[in-house]
Amino acid sequence: MGSLTTLSVPECLYELIPKSVARALDVGAAPEVVAQKAASDLPEELVLEHMTSLELWVRVSPWFFAA
């Protein structure tokens, strides 16, 4: 499983991600590097990453069917 933190307002939907993960995604880091930064328990500033409702459902729907 996992977790996904979002902020939804009538105008848009955002995912809240750690700043180090956002930087890694911006520079095109390898998926392993991004996953390692996401797994870190160190507290850090969060950034808002725009996402669509379709992207959100694609990411969370597998959790509904996990055994």
Tens-digit pLDDT profile for residues 1-52: 567 888 888 888 998 888 887 887 778 878 787 777 777 776 778 888 899 9
- Is the residue at 49 inside a domain? yes
The two tokens of residue 57 are 């459902």
- Is the residue at 3 inside a domain? no
* Domain range for 55: 11-65
For the sheet with 6-9, list strands across it: 6-9, 12-18, 46-51
Res 1: pLDDT: 53
- Is the residue at 54 inside a domain? yes
* Total tally of structural domains belonging to the chain: 1
- Is the residue at 18 inside a domain? yes
Res 14: pLDDT: 92
- Is the residue at 59 inside a domain? yes
Res 42: pLDDT: 67
- Is the residue at 4 inside a domain? no
> What is the b/e burial string over 5-36, where b = at least 16 CB atoms within 10 angstroms of the residue's CB?
eeeeeeeebbbebbebbbebbeeebeeeebee
